[in-house]
Structure 1
């Protein structure tokens, strides 16, 4: 238990996990999972759903939970040391999951399970498992099976490299603007940029490519030159179009190899392309059906989009002196048009969306709709800004969630929900394991002790991710 990644007695001890814990914990958990796999695939081991679950599912759940914690920290609290530990363990973890999914003995054991002994939920899970064995290469033989495993390991490595390049390219960029250049930019954004520069002992205002800084500059800065500078830096991140030192984060070759490996994987499985593989567990029947849907949607939407563009061009020429708007001008033009025509200002609306007020409103809606109660709770966290909550129904714990709202260095951009722990009636103890979710956003932080202000889009994002969280927790 001295290794926090091996402590499954309660919530993940995020405050105690260090990079040095990763390798020994992964080794122990892989040994346990390997032993479990060997046990359930013995010829005399019963081909029963519950018998397999009691041994194999318990071991793989703990491996998945611990590795999920490491992966989560890699996304929200990246450091060189953690990244090195993650990358060292990644091939071993990938190799195990690939081998598990392609194990012919386990595949045969699952096929031998009598569906008549299962309840409806188990029958569906059993059907999905059989499908996933096939997609994981369980029916491949010899060299094809070896190549399939090598492809999985290389893809995991490349996907991690892609994420690292995207994060590093974003974190590496900084432009220190003058007060004059920031004319029109909201005061709270300017204050945050000034504080960021002062924290580094530098003059001016530190502008970054993180959304709470980048988007307001693109929407409100009157300086077209400043908008152009940030736009070019943003759209060329991690690409062969990046300039200077940023070129070292180029993802071009990474993407090319991923695409080639996906095509090879599909062909090994007997499909024409990776799109066909991707759709096997999904509702659409073919890539052609997906493309037809998207093109039909585009065809129907295009006339309205063209009308909007013409409207914006006319407004820009008549009111802003922009006869030939460029890519970096459109957010600015859109904001000015909304202000002039509809008396709508994103900046004014933001004053009403303080983060605590939005959160209280969100919780009230959820409590009313689902007849639950949401309360602050206590658990170890990876950053002091992270909050932890519990959801109760009739006084009984239903689920819990971590809420990580502010953008910061070392945190992947965007917003997402992930599961820290699944709801599960544990086959080893018979006890119900309640679910825990991660809800991650990248909003602006508060400045000078004032609460953060959310844009309307931020509010939509928070509700959206919370919906995913509810799906997991309820």
Structure 2
């Protein structure tokens, strides 16, 4: 008997164990047809358009398609292979076509517009008003008012952009996976901690090689750059890392970058915007490129003197220690770590034994319990896409199940780099039923070895809290519609819940809950916590400059007409001029692997990290005024921010929480760039 397609059967949790690669395409094709029928039902209605029969119906049209595509594209990020990538190249144009068919459906837009034009006479609540605005803008911002010829042009642009973005990401992943630094002489490992060497030996063993292997995945790359004494090897690895997509071969991304920015600009112009940044920022808290540039310039003005002072101190330190005449980029992490050890008498290796992965997971769960009354129970019957994935049911203080949580922590060849939160099912209400979300975080943390469990660096600890902050935004959602739920908020607001949670990693009251030595069970000593706090602003000027440089590069690609740009590297060097500290490396180019803006959703939005830092520093000051686990402050943050998703303008939500707009001085104080109160 022929097996059915599990993606087309009814399911609540994703049926990962039953899905075969060949199921995706036919399931998506059939789901597109079902979605077309949903749309046809709306346009065929004979009664006058209303919020219920047009806007709400449109919101829930294509529900099956949304569920299936979320599974497919999440797998393409977390557990991909050549077959999946090839499928993505076939599926993306079909989805783009469908999206354009909906947006360019004149009859559908006519009905939406009719409802929109009578909105003042309708008795809509705030979330309904937001949804109506979103649906109307979905059409107007995507060409509904264009001529037939222009609509065809837009359709072609979107199709090309979808393919180019996928190709960009595939090249970055292939470049990351193909490089390895194979070391056979143990003397070349001088300076590296024992756990790092063990992991490298295991990696070599997996590849049936003698010695040690280091690669471009963060858990391997970062400790090598931070601790390896041999400068030539740091240089080799750093150049390999910075040259992804910049080798002039079939994986070169320069042409992809130029085509993407030029097509995005054409799209913006077609829709009536001067640049792509103008188009994107219309739906952001920052609103305009001018405001973003002014925001970054203001931060640059405050951070640059501090960064230059820090850089001079680092230069002097490297000169005294190792007679280094000119600091290079491959020296940055190494000498910064050495200087930090000297100034604060501690390093990451002293901290790692207190941050065993399972303890940190329990810690973030405990923080969520103390703040929001949540409990996490591991479950084993939920299907997963890889044996390393763990699943948990999440219940609130009343014992009611509010979410399903997936966690996937270690690097693999099929997983793209970095860390992210995603969802397999949004929270929403329909037919009197509150559908609860299925949320996932995916990271690339240090793997356990045959000698030690997974011991996290402090940076990995803050990354886990960051992604978990996003996850809480999804789990605690309490809205009616999927497109206003959870993280469906303005892009420069989405980082507030994630970044604010990182603050608990620096607080004694939180750290004592989970930072316990993996061998002895000893709770992290106060002196180490004090050193974490003291070193928190170490080289903050340089760190701020680095983040600003990425934001400025992003705006240089998207905030002007890029049609005259022919040389990616030359353009990048110009964009980095005001933030440059280290000499330029001719073999390297950041843009060719800048996945955030060329594959992820951060185009004209990388500034969001700094923008949200202003919000998170200001919000956390409110917590510290009342106690970091103050239940009233936490309840207020949950009820005004986390549960509300995108139901209202973020500025309204934030002011409801804080009683005023965020004060930028809070960030500057925390960064040590202004005196604290």
TM-score by length of 2: 0.67
- Which residue pairs with 1:383 in the alignment? 386
Partners of 2:287 and 2:124 lie apart in 1 by 28
1:129 aligned onto 2:135: yes
What is the number of equivalent residue pairs in this alignment?
467
- Which residue pairs with 1:355 in the alignment? 357
3-state SS of paired residue (2:423): strand
- Which residue pairs with 1:120 in the alignment? 126
- Which residue pairs with 1:24 in the alignment? 26
What per-residue deviation string (whole Å, max 9, x for no partner) do you get for residues 17-41 of structure 1? 2210011101110110111111111
Partners of 1:8 and 1:432 lie apart in 2 by 18
Which stretch has the larger CA shift, 286-295 or 429-438?
Answer: 429-438
Distance 1:433 1:334, change over 3 A: same
Q: Is the 8 A contact 2:55 2:112 kept in 1?
A: no
Q: Is the 8 A contact 2:407 2:440 kept in 1?
A: yes
- Which residue pairs with 1:395 in the alignment? 399
Which stretch has the larger CA shift, 339-348 or 256-265?
Answer: 339-348
Deviation of 1:98 after TM superposition, in Å, equals: 2.1
Partners of 1:434 and 1:2 lie apart in 2 by 27
- Which residue pairs with 2:230 in the alignment? 223
Partners of 2:388 and 2:452 lie apart in 1 by 14
Partners of 2:326 and 2:161 lie apart in 1 by 43
Corresponding residue to 2:170 among 164, 168, 178: 164
What per-residue deviation string (whole Å, max 9, x for no partner) do you get for residues 383-403 of structure 1? 111111121111111112111
- Which residue pairs with 1:419 in the alignment? 423
Distance 1:208 1:72, change over 3 A: same
- Which residue pairs with 1:183 in the alignment? 190
Distance 1:251 1:183, change over 3 A: same
Which structure has more RCO (C-alpha within 8 Å, separation ≥ 6)? 2
3-state SS of paired residue (1:438): strand
Deviation of 1:361 after TM superposition, in Å, equals: 1.0
Q: Is the 8 A contact 1:356 1:451 kept in 2?
A: no
Partners of 1:184 and 1:342 lie apart in 2 by 19
Which runs of no fewer than 5 residues in structure 1 stay unpaired? Answer: none
- Which residue pairs with 1:249 in the alignment? 251
Corresponding residue to 1:332 among 328, 334, 358: 334
- Which residue pairs with 2:214 in the alignment? 207
3-state SS of paired residue (1:162): helix
- Which residue pairs with 2:413 in the alignment? 409
What per-residue deviation string (whole Å, max 9, x for no partner) do you get for residues 379-421 of structure 1? 1111111111121111111112111111111101011111211
TM-score by length of 1: 0.95
- Which residue pairs with 2:156 in the alignment? 150
What per-residue deviation string (whole Å, max 9, x for no partner) do you get for residues 129-169 of structure 1? 11221111111111101000111111000000011011110
Which runs of no fewer than 5 residues in structure 2 stay unpaired? Answer: 477-677
Deviation of 1:57 after TM superposition, in Å, equals: 3.8
3-state SS of paired residue (2:7): helix
Partners of 1:38 and 1:204 lie apart in 2 by 63
3-state SS of paired residue (1:452): coil
- Which residue pairs with 2:459 in the alignment? 457
Distance 1:41 1:122, change over 3 A: same
Partners of 1:49 and 1:432 lie apart in 2 by 20
Q: Is the 8 A contact 2:35 2:63 kept in 1?
A: no
Structure 1 residue ranges, 4+ long, deviating more than 3 angstroms after superposition: 52-59
Q: Is the 8 A contact 1:405 1:442 kept in 2?
A: yes
What per-residue deviation string (whole Å, max 9, x for no partner) do you get for residues 280-321 of structure 1? 111223211211111121111001001100110111111222
Deviation of 1:449 after TM superposition, in Å, equals: 6.5
Q: Is the 8 A contact 1:406 1:445 kept in 2?
A: yes
Partners of 2:109 and 2:342 lie apart in 1 by 64
Distance 1:40 1:424, change over 3 A: same
Distance 1:290 1:374, change over 3 A: same
What per-residue deviation string (whole Å, max 9, x for no partner) do you get for residues 340-369 of structure 1? 221121111112111011111111011010
Partners of 1:449 and 1:85 lie apart in 2 by 40
Which stretch has the larger CA shift, 258-267 or 321-330?
Answer: 321-330
